Structure 1
């Protein structure tokens, strides 16, 4: 039996300690990789949800804007302007023709 076949117990213990550290590091790396995978999937879900919400918000804004401004809202002021504007023009013509 040669001296290289039998290692002192201290070398075995160092080897075991280093191996355990490597295993723990690998476990932590796998956990981190799994977390990254979950985070990427969640990010994609949230981006898709954000796009849907933005589209829905734009649609709601369009509906609200179109419902706020209707012909009925402008009908009365429009006809008042036509009536009094037309009346003003007629009075202006009458006053102009009476001065001539």
Structure 2
């Protein structure tokens, strides 16, 4: 008969899962930044071409590149902050901020 995992084992498993998620997110951010740099370079090239020739294809490509860059920026920013990554710090801030407020009111009442 196997024993249920201890708190230590559960914490270690959670830490391993968090580390794997962090590694995956880091790889995703690196790939996104590489793609963003490539799109910026392509955008510079298209702008230079557009200054010389002013054709509709270059204008359409420039708009498309701008849109892709904006979408990529939103994806990179939105995935950096997720609720699961902010959950624990958020509740700690609420708890200790609330405690600080209560202590402040109590001290104010006591000193008044």
* Structure-1-length-normalised TM-score: 0.42
Q: Which has the higher contact order (CA 8 A, sep 6+)?
A: 2
Larger Rg: 1
